[in-house]
Structure 1
């Protein structure tokens, strides 16, 4: 079996019935179903959503994105074997745990295949909700240069790199480019304060100021549920990004829910607990791959400097990464997913054919 065949890299060309353009992100592609198919599935599958809620098929790929670029490897490897299935399995596991702990719902209604979600349309809150338990990464780099205030939070002196913070910090940033908000730069992914959210809650798509409190509660509760579960398997939950949105359920009640993925190696840092106790950082997340890239190229500033995006894109396009680096990352994704879920991740031999067979026979979504 050719390794490249087991990787789902292009995921926006499936013959799923839709009357809208397919939205393709860095990793996932979204197919909005026709109104007729949405209504039919809501009825047939008894989903807890409004009868006229728009539904979508979300297909996750095995593409690997880092520093806002898509990378590829030797032997025509255009993604990381097992990555998509690992990410979905981890998110599904945490969303179920959230439900068991009576936290908020998610946008996922159904999981027809390890690489596929059926989701309801949500009105996204325009905030990347980031939670930090340790100081590392971009926050440490800024702290080391003398910054002591992050998102309106003042940090103590004498913090150590990769050290435990006194409190769980919420350091939000903008999701997309938001215009006309006082004190908020019109660029993507800019740090904001809690006060910015309260003063301009409507501009961030919150329904009320109370929902700013609500999102913080959900963020901390979600973080703690994952943190406690990871401790049971000797892993440290370092930091993570959550996303939220609004949906309406079958009773017409609007509610704030978790969106996108949660607690995955793409959206979080996860460290090995025993190694950390011995002063070593072993990454069970995409962060290890980012570090590899920084060490692999002679001028790491290209990867860190947003003013050098053209050079960065050229770097990603023109360089096939060593197969060993791609397979090391595959091992990282698969092993942490198997640890978290307790289930084996099996590589599909022909992911596209499998997905289409299920969506055709069980959901009637292929012409």
Structure 2
């Protein structure tokens, strides 16, 4: 299992490195960002002890495909993808919120609803809904961007503005871009026989002050998908939807008494389980992207990435 779970490169003109839950971002001369999608697996804001083969490649390639499919609607940070696990883009100052948009009562929203809440991030939810019902209109439920492994927290539009986390002028743009991207993502998913249930977008500002989409988009880590076929029947029968997202990992963890809470122990992830997760991610890729997944050479993945990034930087 040759996975990449940590990097320690020293590229020419490198200024700093930021290590997120899954991605590692290298600042090149305060101009470019080299973002490496590792094979780390995060759930409940906790990084699992073992990597998932090909996961980073899958996330990077879906995100690249979706950025290209939405760049006519919303500008994004991406310039090039010199390696299956790597994206290179413009240096941006990230906004300190994640723009979560939900078309259906699923995941976190469903858990909150089941607990009796009828307002999420300042947005009311109607009575009488059952899990995975479609909302009359998609709702935006932002969260704070967690630092250093802390949990993301729900936050309302009003709190974001009153705490001056984002200016009103910028926040209006973030909401507009979020709705446009979700609409396009919904249309792309439909062509693949899928429902885009919910997703999150992250935005940043370029040096010139332009708001752009950053990070990943419409991947199984940032989004939840259902199959269109059988959706209505499953809702009528009140049974779980067949879905494409990393929710299957969360459910496995929950069934093994882990939800990222203090004192809880991450269950053992055997080779067999790791391989099954990798196979599931490949299935997600092929369903979402609509193309066959081609595994990159992982005989020496760290060396491959370094070589490809250096070649790219030398030609720039």
Could you tell me the TM-score, scaled by structure 1's length? Answer: 0.77
Which runs of no fewer than 5 residues in structure 1 stay unpaired?
Answer: 36-52, 73-77, 178-186
Rounded to whole Å, the distance in 2 between the matches of 1:146 and 1:293 is: 24
Rounded to whole Å, the distance in 1 between the matches of 2:288 and 2:195 is: 12
Q: Is the 8 A contact 2:46 2:260 kept in 1?
A: no
1:310-325 alignment, distance < 5 Å: 311-312=263-264, 315-316=265-266, 319-325=267-273
* Closer, same or farther: CA 134–175 of 1 in aligned 2, 3 Å: same
Q: Is the 8 A contact 2:19 2:25 kept in 1?
A: yes
Rounded to whole Å, the distance in 2 between the matches of 1:68 and 1:91 is: 20
**How many residue pairs were aligned?**
306
Query: In the alignment, what sits opposite 2:65?
Result: 93
Q: Is the 8 A contact 1:86 1:345 kept in 2?
A: no
Offset at residue 338 of structure 1 (A):
2.4
Could you tell me the TM-score, scaled by structure 2's length? Answer: 0.89
Rounded to whole Å, the distance in 1 between the matches of 2:142 and 2:112 is: 16
Query: In the alignment, what sits opposite 2:9?
Result: 14
* Closer, same or farther: CA 362–157 of 1 in aligned 2, 3 Å: closer
Q: 1:161 aligns with which of 128, 131, 148?
A: 131
RMSD between superposed Cα atoms in Å: 2.1
* Closer, same or farther: CA 57–217 of 1 in aligned 2, 3 Å: same
Q: 2:285 aligns with which of 337, 340, 365?
A: 337
Offset at residue 79 of structure 1 (A):
1.0
* Closer, same or farther: CA 199–346 of 1 in aligned 2, 3 Å: same
Offset at residue 86 of structure 1 (A):
0.7
1:32-43 alignment, distance < 5 Å: 32-33=27-28, 35=29
Are positions 1:54 and 2:31 aligned together? Answer: yes
Are positions 1:67 and 2:27 aligned together? Answer: no
Offset at residue 21 of structure 1 (A):
4.0
Partner deviation per Cα, 1:26-49 (whole Å, 9 max, x = no partner): 11112222x3xxxxxxxxxxxxxx
Query: In the alignment, what sits opposite 1:75?
Result: none
Q: 2:252 aligns with which of 288, 292, 307?
A: 292
Q: 1:346 aligns with which of 295, 300, 303?
A: 295
1:1-367 alignment, distance < 5 Å: 4-5=1-2, 7-11=3-7, 13-33=8-28, 35=29, 54-72=31-49, 78-99=50-71, 102-176=72-146, 189-200=152-163, 203-206=164-167, 209-248=168-207, 253-279=208-234, 280-295=240-255, 297=256, 300=257, 302-303=258-259, 305=261, 308=262, 311-312=263-264, 315-316=265-266, 319-341=267-289, 342-349=291-298, 350-364=300-314
Rounded to whole Å, the distance in 2 between the matches of 1:108 and 1:163 is: 35
Offset at residue 224 of structure 1 (A):
0.8
Q: Is the 8 A contact 2:74 2:181 kept in 1?
A: no
